[in-house]
Every structure is written in structure tokens, then in C-alpha cells.
Structure 1
């Protein structure tokens, strides 16, 4: 007796479909992605990488011709040249990444996100000017509390000072550092922000840092009272009501 076809019997094939295997990404894929991203922002990166690679090879060859077997020095020079080229690419990629986000709201938090240990940063601003939308970000580490502002002008300075006083009332004995991110005089460029934060001198231990975090959590973040159904950017005072309805 012949076997009946599944289609003729109306039976469906319950066999699971084959899942397409995801191709594993190697380290050189990540390097190439970084190179493409950097080249979009910095077209000269190709020449910098090539000049570094062949420059180190040339130095190794000259040393080999002068003091020893040139083939041996050339073989040693290959991995050294590759490492030097990778270092240059990493530095150029870092600068390109900063250039892409510079001037954008929250760029300072994106830069400080590269600090993996020793600091705790709030993702949301702890203070914000209602009109200009100027934010103030906060971080806590062994050097104390750091307040990060973005932009220029008296509004930024006034907002940072108000948040510093607000924090000092809760933590009177903890150092509070205010860093203004920007390219004006007295400000810290975005490219040097991480280095500036890391250079702050530690004064607290781990237990004290935990206590500071707990107090700041109780203090809360930015509070912008917004009445229901009212757009704060379009709200206007009721001048007739202020005059008593006359």
C-alpha cells in the first residue's frame, strides 16, 4: 500500500524550520567597522594609518641594515608596525566619535559612559532650565560629587551654582566639583572631559561613596512642575484674571 502524501491527508508538517546561523564576527570585523566610521568623519585617517605602519617598518629596516640582520629586524618590525597603526586608528576613531556628538544634548554623558569603574553617573539630568533646556548632570565617585554642565552663558553658570548649593545642603562635608563642558575660556573640551574627571583626587572610601549615593537618591533629580493639559512652552499668564476680571 502506497504511503499517502501529507498534502492529500491535510496533515501539516510540524518539523521546525531551520534557523539561519548567525555569522560570528571576528575582531578584524570590528576594526574595519571602526575604520569606516572614522573615515566618514576623518578622511585623512587612511593616510595616517598607512604612514604609521610603513614608517615603523622603515625604521626597523634601517636598524637591521645598520646593526644586524635586516630580515630578522623586518620580521620583528611587522607586529610593531601593526600595533602602532592600530594605536593611531584608535586615537583617530576616538576623536571622530567625539566630533560626531559634540554640541548634541547629553554628549557629556555619552563621553563619561566610557568610564567603567569608580564612578556612578545619573543618566537623566538632575537639573534643567525650563526655558533653554540647559541640563546639569551629576556623578559620584571617590573624589566626591561632580556636576557637569553643557553650553555657555550666565544661565549655565547660575544653574550649576544653584545645583551646587542644593547638593551642599545635603552633603556639607563632601567635595563638589563643577565642570563646564565647552570650548570657551575656562571650560573643558569634550575630548578632555574623561581625562579631567579621572584626574580628580580621591578623598572618599567605598563606604562613604555608598552613603553619598543614598543621600543623593533621597534628594532626587530635576523637578519641572507641568500642569496637566498645559504646554509649558506655550503657557501665558491670565492678565485679565490678575486685574480681578476688569
Structure 2
């Protein structure tokens, strides 16, 4: 039988948990500040846009408060400050995200990295098929059904997509199967718009079916296995001979 904690032990545990939360919060603030400083140096329009949005919203709140008058006038000023700060922070987040995607564009593993950062109930399996040139096909399962996302040379990934769709169709029956090639060519989806493109697909299957669908597709295995894929975007000029040999051996 587990021993109950003494009041002193309970107090110490609470103090330790509080200290851990404070440390984590401090670390998040530090990381956010560092990210802001980096983005500010790279994006010369960031501060002007943030300041303009803040000032404009505060000014509108003050004007609205003066027009209404009474006690509401005094409430509109702090409300405007809070809203202005929130909008400025949103602008920072959007521009920072855009900058990250621009840097990742065209790099090996960028699509797999973007898929790993999807928000929502998506099941991502990177590298279900690939070539020695790091052209890869990743599998995503969600409410739309099964989506294959390819990155690399379109001429090399199209046969991989066709093969994976054929293998998968034998198991999933009537579940819709989509294919996407990430890139900036005709009919391709830019990396920065990949998440938006996926979320716009229709919801064809219930959420409870996603787990069973994933279990079926696990049996298909993978041509190379996710371990052979790079962990995040890799610079185009990086030396990848060793990794390419790994892919070929698979």
C-alpha cells in the first residue's frame, strides 16, 4: 500500500511543480524573444507592421470610447491596448511562419517536416516510398481519406504515387485516395499552402474510422522506412551521399 504524503512533502511537491512551471514559462518567453529578434533582423517590415497595427487599433478604441462616452470610454482604452498587442503578435507569428516556409522551400525533407507539424487529427507516415535522389512519397490519413504527398522531381514521383495508390486501393475499398505533389510547378501545391490545401479537402470518412484505416495500412509497410528520411529540411547543397546509399540499400 502506498504511503500517504506528509503535509511537508505535499508542500514541497507543490513548490517544486510551481518552480518547474515558472522555469518552463521563462524558457518559452526566452525562445519567443530570440525568435522575434531573429525575425526582426531578417524582416525589415515586421516592426513597422506591428507598430502600425497596434497604434491603429488603440486609436480606433479611443475614438470609439470618446464617441460612446461615460464609463465605457475608460474601458475602451485598455481593451484597445490588449487587442492591439494581440494583433501585433498575430502579425509576428504569420510573418515568422512565412519566413520559415520560404527557407524550407525546395529543400529535401521539407514536405515531411511540414506534414509532421500539421494541426488537427492527421496520421502521417513519412517516406512510404522514395528514390535514391530523395524524391519521396508520404502518406497522410485524415477525414478526407488517404492522401499521398510527394516531394521531388515530378517525373520521378508520379510513378511512385501511382504504385502507392494502387497498393492502397486494394485495402481501403471505397475510401477516397488523393495525391499531391509539393512544388511550384503547374498542378503542384506550394509548401507554404500545403496545410491549407489539406484542410480544404472534403471530410469523407468519420473520425472513428481513421484508427482502423491506419491499422490496415500499417500492413503495407514502407519502401524505405521513415528512419531513412532526413529529420526536417536539408540544404540543397548538403552532402547526402551516405544517406542516399542508405536509401538504395533499402
TM-score after normalising by structure 1: 0.73
User: Which residue in 1 is equivalent to 2:131?
Assistant: 129
**CA 1:59/1:206 → structure 2, altered by over 3 Å: closer, same or farther?**
closer
Query: SS state of the match for residue 125, structure 1?
Result: strand
Gaps of 5+ in 2: 1-18, 226-243
Please give the per-residue CA displacement for 1:68-101, whole angstroms capped at 9, x wherever unaligned.
3665533331111111111111111111221221
Give 1 or 2: higher helix fraction: 2
User: Which residue in 2 is equivalent to 1:87?
Assistant: 90
User: Which residue in 2 is equivalent to 1:32?
Assistant: 33
Q: How many residues align?
A: 206
User: Which residue in 1 is equivalent to 2:58?
Assistant: 57
- Structure 1: which 4+ aligned runs deviate by more than 6 Å? none
Gaps of 5+ in 1: 1-20, 225-230, 236-246
Query: SS state of the match for residue 219, structure 2?
Result: helix
User: Which residue in 2 is equivalent to 1:141?
Assistant: 142
Query: SS state of the match for residue 147, structure 1?
Result: strand
**CA 1:219/1:90 → structure 2, altered by over 3 Å: closer, same or farther?**
same
Query: SS state of the match for residue 109, structure 1?
Result: helix
Output the CA distance in 1 between the equivalents of 2:215 and 2:76: 58
Larger radius of gyration: 1
User: Which residue in 2 is equivalent to 1:98?
Assistant: 101
**CA 1:41/1:181 → structure 2, altered by over 3 Å: closer, same or farther?**
farther
Q: Is this contact kept in 2: 1:152–1:184, CA < 8 A?
A: no
Q: Is this contact kept in 2: 1:41–1:100, CA < 8 A?
A: no
Matches within 5 A, 1:1-246: 24=23, 25-26=25-26, 28-68=29-69, 72-122=75-125, 124-130=126-132, 132-223=133-224
Cα RMSD of the aligned pairs, angstroms, is 2.8
**Between 201-210 and 142-151, the greater mean CA deviation after superposition:** 201-210
Query: SS state of the match for residue 157, structure 1?
Result: helix
TM-score after normalising by structure 2: 0.72
